[in-house]
Amino acid sequence: MNEIADTPLATPTMRLDGLTAVVTGAGRGLGRAAALALAGAGAKVVLVSRTLAELERLAGEIEAAGGRAEALRCDVTDFAQVRDTIGALERIDILINNAGMNIPQPFLEVGEENLDAVLSLNVKAAFVVAQAAARRMVAAGDGGSIINISSQMGHVGAPNRSVYCTTKHALEGMTKAIAVELAPHNIRVNAIGPTFIVTPLTQPFFEDRAFREDTLSRLPLGRLGRLDDIMGAVVFLSSPAAALITGASLVIDGGWTAW
């Protein structure tokens, strides 16, 4: 069989109709944007975080626009909760493993409490959530897509971000390792590495003129990221259009890591 001659070509779809997507840290920022993008592409979105009121507002917004959403309260650092909530869902086709944190500090000043907090959420919880979702995907036998929200800091280093960089480099390695293991189940695992995205959480950093100017000087495209900059990548990597992409990291960094 001549695969080139015999296979008709058609533009791959990025629609997600009939699929169920789980988004952690969905109540605000990158998680909220990812949830809106997935719902807009037709997926039913399960919104996960510790703050139910935020999730319910977002679910209402999605449903008002004609989408489908469910709010699910879960502290992803409580692994019994992860097992009993995310791990008990009837179906998961897509996971956006987004919950994370950063506590910027000079390396010499990092204490054990902050070190443990960032490692626990950014690495251990991400691992456990991915494992819970993957188990549901394997049980269903229909494949799936796991997207770990990493950072450009998973590819470079930066002052005052030794712990954060440690966790995001770890997440990049985890992405590659589980991509290889889950490939026989047709479960794709990729990472997205955004640059600085303006959100209510990061906005105060950019009120410091020196920090803002230094950040912009490192971005060849000359601007900070917006939430909608990550939405297309989330849909693409979740969709059949990315069917042969696994173990990859898509940096959305304005050229930061290209220097």
Torsion of the alpha carbons at 137, 172, 21 and 98, rounded to the nearest 10 = 140
**Residue that the structure tokens 């303006």 belong to:** 198
Return d(Cα 76, Cα 83) in angstroms, integer: 9
Q: Phi and psi of 236, rounded to 5°?
A: -60, -50
**168 carries an active-site annotation:** yes
The answer to whether 89 touches 136, Cβ cutoff 8 Å, is: yes
Alpha helix locations (H) across the chain?
3-6, 29-40, 52-64, 79-84, 112-119, 126-140, 162-182, 209-217, 228-238
Task: Return the bridge partners of 71, or none.
Answer: 47
Q: Which of 44, 124, 164, 176 is catalytic?
A: 164
The answer to whether 37 touches 15, Cβ cutoff 8 Å, is: no
**176 carries an active-site annotation:** no
Q: Which of 44, 124, 168, 176 is catalytic?
A: 168
Distances (CA, A) of 174 to 160, 171, 178, 189, 205: 23, 5, 6, 9, 29
**Residue that the structure tokens 């259009």 belong to:** 241
The answer to whether 245 touches 190, Cβ cutoff 8 Å, is: yes
Residues annotated as catalytic (active site), given as ranges:
164, 168
